[in-house]
Amino acid sequence: MPAKKKNTHKPWRKAVQEALRHATDAEALARFGKRRPAYNYRWEHVTAVVTLAVKLAELTGADRDVVEAAAWLHDVRKEAKDKHPREGAKFARKFLPETDFPPDKIERVAQAIEDHMGLWRDKPLTRLESQVLWDADKLAKLGLTAVFHRVGDVLAKGKPMTTANLMKNGRDAAWQANTVASMHTEPAQRAAIARFQAYNKLWDALAGELNGDDLL
């Protein structure tokens, strides 16, 4: 009797997480000289993007599989800097066929990854899955999430740091207004406005406390 052909395709959800873990370990090794630094910004960022992207997919009717896989893989080639969306798309086209990810959806994953460039957009994206990934990626750079992610990343460098410098660094983010204005989907537009306000309010409140403005 001929041996039953085994399906060797890996479960895709596990595979994309492993791919990201591998990429974030390599990025940390290059930046900090160790795979597991005190704080891994990239891992924190991408896992936040995945959660937001899946939620946005549910709210907008975007394809969940496409959005989820694209979110896990969107920064997998971050070392390619400005070319990382295109390189990430290439990675997805090669990597996903080795998994059990639906083959007919792979190109849409690659397109969403390729489209995620830029902190703001002059021309809105047109594909829904690209819009959702873009919005989720940028939402994760706004609000209190951004505060914790930036502070964690700065402290992970292990260089002397003061609260005043953290504040200066945090407030130096004029691009955020453009990012908020570039959101595509309605739920992300609402969340972006609220996150932007919370972000500015937090730094204002901190400055007030440090100045003793609350001592009346």
Region binding Fe ion by CB under 5 A among candidate stretches 59-67, 129-137, 157-165, 188-196: 129-137
Q: Report how far apart, in Å, the C-alpha atoms of 162 and of each of 37, 166, 208 are.
A: 20, 6, 17
Half-sphere exposure of 143 (CA within 13 A, CB side): 17
Is 102 or 152 the residue whose CB approaches Fe ion more closely? 152
d(CA 143, CA 197): 7
d(CA 187, CA 173): 23
Binding test (CB under 5 A) with Fe ion, winner from 27, 63, 68, 75? 75
To the nearest whole angstrom, how small is the minimum distance from the Cβ of residue 86 to Fe ion?
11
Is 10 or 86 the residue whose CB approaches Fe ion more closely? 86
To the nearest whole angstrom, how small is the minimum distance from the Cβ of residue 127 to Fe ion?
17
Residues 130-159 that bind Fe ion (CB under 5 A): 137
Residue owning tokens 């599989």: 65
To the nearest whole angstrom, how small is the minimum distance from the Cβ of residue 48 to Fe ion?
9
Is 135 or 137 the residue whose CB approaches Fe ion more closely? 137
Q: How many residues bind Fe ion (CB under 5 A)?
A: 2
d(CA 131, CA 170): 26
CB 20 within 8 A of CB 44: no
To the nearest whole angstrom, how small is the minimum distance from the Cβ of residue 63 to Fe ion?
19
| Binding region for Fe ion (CB under 5 A) | 75, 137
